[in-house]
Structure 1
């Protein structure tokens, strides 16, 4: 008649110096130092246990299923290392009968980068009330009813009136009642703002009311012109000069053209041209708007100085 090993504390062959509780059928997860006190549990409530099993049981040599010999050591090692969770960087490793298993951690949450500090040196072109000519270091005020233009014509920074209409000399194209463009004068021998303004006015008249940059006649061509104004002025703290014509066209009401020339406020002070084209007639912008825009031209970053009437001369 074979006997099974009774419940009790037995030396854990897999962990020297440790005893593990055998429940009569299998090893449990309860351990204690070798020779330590019995922890609280159901077995403490049994007087027979305390009387008969206070000392470690003499392990039989061949208890089927019990903790004996090589088989006992295998069972002990299996119970002791069945589930060992080790936290490691990048995952959790589980050690069991079939070797290590790595259970990946959930993916870390990646936060969006915090917005950086604002760049005060950025171009102030986001302001809808200002047209910025970064190359020449100036800003032009955008009047009510005007907007920045996405198109760049003849290397210029441009603004136009918001409303447009069918061009009188070309019904499949659309024109604006007002246009203003700023650019650096490059193809010229003029040495002064006055010489440049008087030279450019004819080109301005042709570009704005005769033929556009691709040779399309939008107003029936310029038939004649009258000089309305020719005078020195001060722009952004620099001495400049303007010439203004009234032009008649083959179609439509004609318009007013102005060439304003002055030295740049930066670099080698190259000469700048600002061209104006205002339609004549009741739908065109008020002619006084040319003076308002001229007086409002500023150096980038300057919100107070310069303008017509300033006593500041060229540096």
Structure 2
């Protein structure tokens, strides 16, 4: 599964994502997101300027942050709710508000539903849900998951697109490669586009692209990149990427579950937008 907020992603879905999460990467991304929000508060809401701010974002977020298939939360190894590790001064990190049955991405202002039998991880930057942890087929020393979904601000993935459609289209190939490519699943030999359509998520107009990919080792998979504007106050021009990845296997969740999770994403409690805690 993709490497975002983890084991519970991104990342966003698929399989061979490493189980290690660099806490420093999350701190850097949080600083970038914070800078973005400050721009909005200063009255400069142009998407063009926003897309140029993340010059300090991680060069390869997919490798530094756990994706849907990871097992470490965005806040660090000892942070079941994304709050472990402490701040730069050694003090406790900001507490992440959580809701039963949801994983919360504080920076993006959204909550992702956690299906029965799945694990969820909330975080200051990114959130993820996953199920079916198992040794990766190409590298048993790494852990993969049968199904995973994770979120992260688009700027953390260095996606410069300013529309939801362009962002989803820009991310899908990277999502597929980071989820099902590499040594964990072998190279992707081919893909088929299953969906490319406009959707409404958390009250915002977004866009998703879904592929079926054929891998060199182990199961093939479904990957999806979903993009939409953040519903958080002051962040209307910040795009969110939600990556999903499901193995094609009897032990993996069925494809309709991906649609259910996508449709269940909502504004985080207290996050403003379409009404805190209200499903849309």
Same fold (TM over 0.5): yes
The alpha carbon displacement at 1:148 in A equals 2.0
Q: Residue 221 of structure 2 corresponds to which residue in structure 1?
A: 255
> 1:230 and 2:196 equivalent?
yes
**Distance in 2 (alpha carbons) for counterparts of 1:149 and 1:210:** 24
**Distance in 2 (alpha carbons) for counterparts of 1:229 and 1:239:** 16
The alpha carbon displacement at 1:286 in A equals 0.9
> 1:197 and 2:173 equivalent?
no
- Provide structure 2 residue ranges, at least 5 long, that are not aligned to the other structure: 1-94, 270-275
The alpha carbon displacement at 1:165 in A equals 1.7
Q: Residue 298 of structure 1 corresponds to which residue in structure 2?
A: 266
The alpha carbon displacement at 1:150 in A equals 8.4
- CA deviations on 1:117-176 (whole Å, 9 max, x unpaired) are xxxxx7432x45110011111111000121124899xx6322211x32221111222211
Number of aligned residue pairs: give it: 176
Greater strand share, structure number = 1
Q: Residue 108 of structure 2 corresponds to which residue in structure 1?
A: 136
**Distance in 1 (alpha carbons) for counterparts of 2:231 and 2:130:** 24
* Contact residue 106 and residue 123 of structure 2 kept, 8 A: no
Higher relative contact order (CA 8 A, sep 6+): 2
Q: Bigger radius of gyration, 1 or 2?
A: 1
Counterpart pick for 1:124 among 88, 93, 97: 97
* Contact residue 128 and residue 147 of structure 1 kept, 8 A: no
> 1:281 and 2:255 equivalent?
no
**Distance in 1 (alpha carbons) for counterparts of 2:214 and 2:117:** 25
The alpha carbon displacement at 1:208 in A equals 0.7
Q: Residue 235 of structure 2 corresponds to which residue in structure 1?
A: 268
The alpha carbon displacement at 1:262 in A equals 0.1
* Contact residue 104 and residue 121 of structure 2 kept, 8 A: no
Runs of 4+ off more than 4 Å: 149-152
Counterpart pick for 2:143 among 171, 174, 181: 174
Q: Residue 146 of structure 1 corresponds to which residue in structure 2?
A: 118
**Distance in 2 (alpha carbons) for counterparts of 1:159 and 1:274:** 11
Greater helix share, structure number = 2
Q: What do you get for the CA RMSD once the two structures are aligned?
A: 1.9
Please say which of residues 166-175 and 285-294 is displaced more in the overlay: 166-175
* Contact residue 105 and residue 122 of structure 2 kept, 8 A: no
State the TM-score, normalized to the length of structure 1. Answer: 0.53
Please say which of residues 197-206 and 140-149 is displaced more in the overlay: 140-149
Counterpart pick for 1:240 among 206, 215, 218: 206
